[in-house]
Structure 1
Amino acid sequence: MSIQRLPVIVGFGGINAAGRASGHHAYARMTHSALSATQQSRTLDSLATLMGLEGGESHQQFILDHTLVRRIEASHFDVDAVRWNQRLPTDGDSQPASFDLERKYLPDVIPPHWVVKGTSVTHVNVQIVGQQDFLLPTYREFDVKSAGQLPSGFEPGTLYPSRNHPRGLQMTVYAASDALGSIGLDWETISSRVAPDQISVYAGSAMGQLDGAGAGGMIKSRYNGQRVTSKYCPLSFAEMPADFINAYVLGSLGSTGASLGACASFLYNLRHGIDDIRNGRARVVFVGAAEAPITPEILEGYSAMGALATEKGLRNLDGLQLGEACDFRRACRPFAENCGFTIAESSQMVVLFDDELAMELGATVFGAAIDVFVNADGHKKSISGPGVGNYITVAKAVAAARAIIGDKALRRGGLVQAHGTGTPQNRVSEAEILSRTAQAFGIDEWPVIAAKCYLGHSIGSAAGDQISTTLGIWHHGILPGITTIDAIAADVRQDHLAFSTEHREVDTAEQKYAIINSKGFGGNNASASLMSPLATQRMLQTRYSGQAWKKWEQANERVRERQQAYDDGMIAGTISPVYKFDHGVLGDGDVKVGAQQLTIGPHTVRLDQVSPYDDMKID
C-alpha cells in the first residue's frame, strides 16, 4: 500500500454575515460575548474597517446590530415595498380604451385589435377594441423579512475594478484574496515550488449568479423592456467562482471546476480537493463557494416551497399580535420550535497543501481535511424532504476519524457541525441521525454546533461557514451556543448529544476531530472528517523526523509573522483584494510542446505518464 499525502489546511478566508473569516474574526463575532476584552476590541476594529467606520469600540452597538442575521436592509431591497408587476386585464368591447403615445414606442407588430391613428409627426392615438392584458408596475409587502447579510456598509465591488460583476463573484474575489493572504506565504513562492498542473481550484455556486448583474438580469431584461448585455450570460455560470480565481487571483493553469450538490456543494468540492492531494494529482488546492441569494425572486421561490421563516411564522412562534415587532435576529432557530430557514450570503475559501509542501514551506497547520463522504437518499416522496443517505455519510465520516485517532479519543475529543437549518423537518431528522450515530460509536455528550443561527443558510457556501467556525473553535476554545433559541424542541432526540443555548469553553488540547454535516435538496448528503491542529501535528510528527519538525517550526515562525502582518493590514484597511485583470496573459508563443514535457513560460508540465492499466497494455 502506497503512502498517501495528507491534505493540510494551511489557509482560509471569506466573508459572511459575521465578517471576515481569516484571523477567526467571523467566528469571534459569533462568540463576541465570551471573548476577552482584547479579542472583542480587535474583532470590532476588523468589522469597522469592513463597514467603513472609524474605530470599532466607538461604534460597538451599531456593529453588533448590523451583523449576523437581521432584518433585510434597503441595500438589498425594501421588504415593505417590493417591486412587482400586477396583471391588469381590460375589456374595450363596449367602450374602447384610448391613449396617446410617441410613435417610437409602438410595438413592431401591431396587435390586430388595436386601431392606430396618427395625431402628429411624432405621436399617435391608439384605440383598443376588445380585451388587452397590461402589467401594472406596483409594490407589495414581502412575507420574508430576515436574512444573513454581509455587514452593513460592506460592498466588495468597491474594493477592486469590479466592472458590474454579479455580487457572488465580487465576494469570490474578496474571499479568495483573503484566503491567499491568510497563508502567510507569497503566491509566487508557492507556485514556484509546484508544477502548474499540480494546482487545483474547485469552487462554485449552487444556484449560479442570479442577481441583476447575472442570470437574473438576463432573464428579466426582455420583460422589462431593457437590453440584455454581453456579461449577463457568461458571468451567470455556476462554476464561475473557480474561473474568477484562476483568471484574476491566482493565474492558475491547473485542474478546475465546480461540483454541485445544492446545500452540500462546498463539501462536494472539498472531496475533489482531498482526492487530488491524496492521489498526487495536486499539491495545492483552493476549495470554495460563493452564494449571493438575497434577492426578492430567490426568496420568493424558497418561500413558495414553505421553506423560509416568514414574519407571520415568527409572530406565531412568539405569540405576537399583528403590529407587534418581530425579533428578526432570532429568525433561524435550529433544533427548537421553528418555522423555516433563513437565507444568507457568503463566500468561503479553504486552502490545502499536501503535507510535504506544508512542511517544506513552514505553513501554519489549521487542521487537516481527512475525507468527505457523499450519498444520495434513494427513492424519495418529496425532492426537498430528508432521507436516509445522511446516515451513511455521517457514519462513514465518524468511522474515518476513528480509524486515525482510535475509539477513546473519538468518544471524548470531537464535535459535530450540524447542518441545522432551522426547519421543523431538519430538527427532527438530523438530530435522529446524529443521536443514533453517536450511540453506535459509544459517544456521549457529543457537542452539536449550529452556526446557521448566527449566519443563516448560505446554500452552497454553508459548509464553508461551518468549517471556518470549526477552525475558530480550535483556536479560541469556545463552542458557540445556539443562542437564538429558548429550548430544544420536544420532538428532537437528544440522547448522546450535547446541545447548548449558551457558549461553552472546551479544552483545545483534548480536541481531535470535527464532523461537518451538510444536507441538500434532491437528496444530496455530504459529511466531512476534519482533524484539529494538534491532531494534525501529531500525525505529521509520526511521518517526519525530529530534525524535519524543528526545521518546520523555525520556518513557521516567519510565516506566522507574515500572517499577523496581513491581519493587521486588513484591520487597518491598507490591503486590497488581489485582482489581476489582463495580467500576464499567455499565448501560443509561450508554449513549447515536446514528447516528454510541455513548457509554459518558466513552468514545466511532465508528459511521461505511466499507464495505470499495466496488465492491459497493447503493443
Structure 2
Amino acid sequence: MRKLAVIAGFGGINPAGRSSAHHAFRRIVLDELSADQQQQTLNSLAQLMNLPHNGDDGWRQQILNGTLIRGWDNVGWDANAVPFHQPFTDESGTPCWRLGHKRLAVQSAGQIPKGFDPAAQYPSHHHPRGLQLAVYAASDALGQLGMDWERIRNHLRPDQIAVYAGSAMGQLDGDGHGGMTQSALLGKRTSSKQCALGLSEMPADFVNAYVLGNIGATGSMVGACATFLYNLKVALDDIQSGRRRLVMVGNSESPLTPEIVEGYSAMTALVTEQKLRELDGLNAGQTPDFRRASRPFGYNGGFTIAESGQFFVLCDDELALELGLTIYGAVGDVYVHADGYKKSISNPGVGNYLTMGKAMGEARRWLGEDALKNGSFVHAHGSSTPANRTTESHIFSELAQAFGIKRWPVTAAKAHLGHSIAAASADQLVLTLGTWAHGIIPGITTTSEIAGDVHQTGLDILLQHKPVNGANLPLAFINAKGFGGNNASGFMISPQQVHKLLAHKAGSQGWKDYLARNEFIRLNAQEYDSRVTRGEHKPRYIFGDGVLEPGDLSISDSEIRVKGWEESVRL
C-alpha cells in the first residue's frame, strides 16, 4: 500500500473560534449539539473573548454576537471614519491634500472572536497580525497533537521535517509592508522589521524560527485563494515520496485593513452594505443582517472578506502508528490547473473542471464507485459572488452527471466564516474534520433559497445542517478557485476509512498496539484542550533560546550532526 499522508494534529483561529478539539466547527453547528458539547464550546469561546464564565442567557448571546461574520467590531480601526487625504486646489492653484474621513461601503467581515487579541498571547513585539495568528495556530496544532514536540523531532532526522505555509496578500498592516509603504506619507520612520515581516512566506519562517526550531525543508507556494491547497499538495508529495515524514502545513491571512477592503471593493468583489439592503428589500438607513452577508449559491452580491490562521500536522502512516498519534483523516491527493487564455484575470475558467474531475477519478480508484457516488460530499469554494454561484455549480453538476452521482451533498464554509483568501481552504478542511467527528455537514444556513441561475442537476446544495453517519461518508472533496486562474481540488479520506486501511496494513496485533499507544495521546490532547479553556496555556513561542551556530555542527563526508538532535542529516 502506498504511503498515506495522515492528519495527526490541527489547530488555528478563525471567526468561529479555536480550531483544535473541533471548537470552531462546533460553533457553526451549535444548535445541533448536545447541551454538554454546547457548553464546552461556549466556555472555549468565552476564554478567547475574555468573558466571565457565568453561563446566563446574556453571556451566551454575547458570545454568539461576537463570532462568525458580523459588523466591524474587532479590528482596531473605525469603519465609519477611515482617514484619507482629500485632494483640493489652494488659492494659488497648487494641488494640495487635507485630512478627511469616510465611511467604508463594506460594513461586515469575518473577524476572529470579539475581544480576542492574538498580540496579547505571547511577546509579539511589532509582529504583523497575520504572523500573530500563525504563531497561535501552529502552537494550537501542536497542542492538539498530544505529544511533546521535542520527543517527536528526536524520533526523526532534521531533514525529514518540513513547514509549508504563507499568505497570499503578505502582511499589509502597519507592522508589515503596509506601514513601510505608508511611512513617508504619514511622516513616520520606516522600521527595520516592516520589509522582512511583510513577505508572503513569513508565516512559515515564523513557525520554523519561533515555534518548532525547524532546520528541515521550508517554503510557500502561493496561488491566490487556492494557496492552502497548493501548500497541501507540496506537503503531500513530500510525504508520499518519502522525502519527509512529518510536515506542518497551513496558512495565515489577516487582510482586514481599510486599504485591502477598499481594493477588493473597487473590483466589486465584496458585498457592500447597500447591496445587502437591496437583496433584502430594505430602505436606506436600515441596517442589514450582517450575519447573512455571505450567501453561497443564493442571491448574493459579493464575498465577505475574513481573517484566519490554520495549521495541520501531516505525517506518513507508519510514523503515526509508531508514535500512536491520533488520525483525524488523510489527504488522498490534490490537483492544480490553470485556466489557459483569459478575458479577465479575475474571471473563472476551465481549469477547475480538470482539478475536480481528476480528484473524483482518483478517489474512485482508491475507494471504489460506491464511496464516490453514495459516500462523498463537497466543500465548495462558495465565495458568494454571482459569478461563482453559476460557474462552480456548473462544474459540480456536469461532473456529478458524468460520474453518475444523483444527489451530491454540497456545502460552503464561507457562509459562516467569510473568505480568508489564502487560508480559505484550510477553513474548509477544519470543517471537514468536524463533520467526521460529529456526524454533521454544516449547511449554508445564511442562504434562504438557491438562486435561479444555479445548476442543481445531480446536486444537493445543503441550506440546513445535515446529520450524517461518518462511517458511511469516507470521502470529502475540497475545492478552491483563485484570481488569475488558480484552481485546486483535493479529496480527503475519513478517519474511519483510514483506520480500516491501516488496520489491514498493520495486522491485528500491530493495530492493537497502536490503539494502546493512542490512548495516551488522546488523553494529552484532552488535557491540552482543558488547559486552554481554563486560560492556563499560552502559545509555544521560543525567542533567543537554542540558537544554533556553526560550532554546533559536527561535519563529515557522510553526515552532519546538529546539536540538540539525536538523529543526523545524512549526506
Shorter chain as denominator, the TM-score bin is over 0.9
Change (3 A) 1:76 1:445: farther
Which residue of the partner structure matches residue 369 of structure 1? 331
Q: Identical aligned pairs, as a percentage?
A: 52
Relative to the length of structure 2, the TM-score reads: 0.98
Match of 1:314 in 2: 276
Question: 2:128–2:175: 8 Å Cα contact kept in structure 1?
Answer: yes
1:87 equivalent in alignment to 2:49: no
One-letter amino acid of the structure 2 residue matched with residue 507 of structure 1? N
Matching residue of 2:465:
503
The verdict on how the C-alpha distance between 1:379 and 1:275 changes in structure 2, with shifts beyond 3 A counting, is same
Distance in 2 between residues matched to 1:413 and 1:4, nearest whole Å: 22
SS of the residue corresponding to residue 233 of structure 1 reads helix
Aligned equivalent of 2:414, options 445, 448, 452: 452
Aligned to 1:61: 61
1:442 is paired with a residue whose SS is coil
Partner in structure 2 of residue 48 of structure 1? 46
The code of the aligned residue for 2:82 comes to V
Q: 2:567, 2:257 → 1: CA distance?
A: 45
Q: How is 1:452-601 mapped onto 2 (pairs within 5 angstroms)?
A: 452-601=414-563
CA distance in 2: counterparts of 1:74 and 1:266, whole angstroms: 25
Q: 1:79-117: CA deviations, max 9, x gaps?
A: 21111110121132xxxxxxxxxxxxxxxxxxxxxxxxx
2:9, 2:313 within 8 Å by CA — same for their partners in 1? yes
Which of 26, 29, 38 aligns to 1:28? It is: 26
- Contact kept in structure 1, 2:5 and 2:330, CA below 8 Å: yes
Aligned-residue offset at 1:605: 3.6
Deviation at 1:606, TM superposition (A): 4.2
Pair member with larger Rg: 1
What is the distance in 2 between the residues matched to 1:274 and 1:404? 16
CA distance in 2, matches of 1:448, 1:20: 24
Partner of 2:73: 73
1:251 aligns with 2:213: yes
Aligned equivalents of 1:181, 1:371: Cα separation in 2: 26
Question: Are 1:200 and 2:149 matched, yes or no?
Answer: no
Q: Distance in 1 between matches of 2:76 and 2:232?
A: 30
Helix, strand or coil for the counterpart of 1:384? coil
Corresponding residue of 2:118: 156
Please state how far the C-alpha of 1:56 moved relative to its aligned partner. 6.3
Q: Structure 1 residues 66 and 492 mapped into 2: Cα distance closer, same or farther (>3 Å)? A: same
1:543-600 CA-partner distances (Å, limit 9, x unpaired)? 2111110000000111111111011111111010000001100101111111111111
Superposition deviation, residue 225 in structure 1: 1.1
Number of residue-to-residue matches in the alignment: 568
> CA–CA distance in 1 between the matches of 2:409 and 2:568?
46
Q: In 2, are the aligned partners of 1:172 and 1:245 still within 8 Å (CA)?
A: yes
Give me the whole-angstrom Cα distance separating, in 1, the residues matched to 2:54 and 2:181: 41
SS of the aligned residue for 1:372 comes to: strand
CA-to-partner distance for each residue in 1:140-166, whole Å, 9 max, x for gaps? 111000000000000011010000100
Q: Name the CA distance, whole Å, in 1 between partners of 2:77 and 2:450.
A: 33
User: Quick check: 1:418–1:449 contact (8 Å CA) kept in 2?
Assistant: yes
Matched, 1:210 2:208: no
Counterpart contact for 1:211–1:217, Cα < 8 Å: yes
TM-score after normalising by structure 1: 0.91
More displaced stretch, 256-265 vs 435-444: 435-444
CA–CA distance in 2 between the matches of 1:407 and 1:604?
Answer: 44
- Code of the aligned partner of 2:491: S
Structure 1: segments with no counterpart, 5+ residues: 93-130, 609-619
CA RMSD of aligned residues (A): 1.0
Instruction: Specify every segment of 5 or more residues in structure 2 that has no aligned partner in the other structure, as ranges.
Output: none
Q: Deviations over 1:11-62 (max 9, x none)?
A: 0000000000000000000001111111111000000000001116331000
Which one of the candidate residues 377, 389, 414 is aligned to 1:427? Answer: 389
Deviation at 1:311, TM superposition (A): 0.7
Q: Write the letter of the residue equivalent to 2:65.
A: D
The structure-2 alpha-carbon separation of the partners of 1:442 and 1:400, relative to structure 1 and needing over 3 Å to count, comes to same
Are the aligned partners of 1:513 and 1:531 in contact in 2 as well (CA < 8 Å)?
A: yes
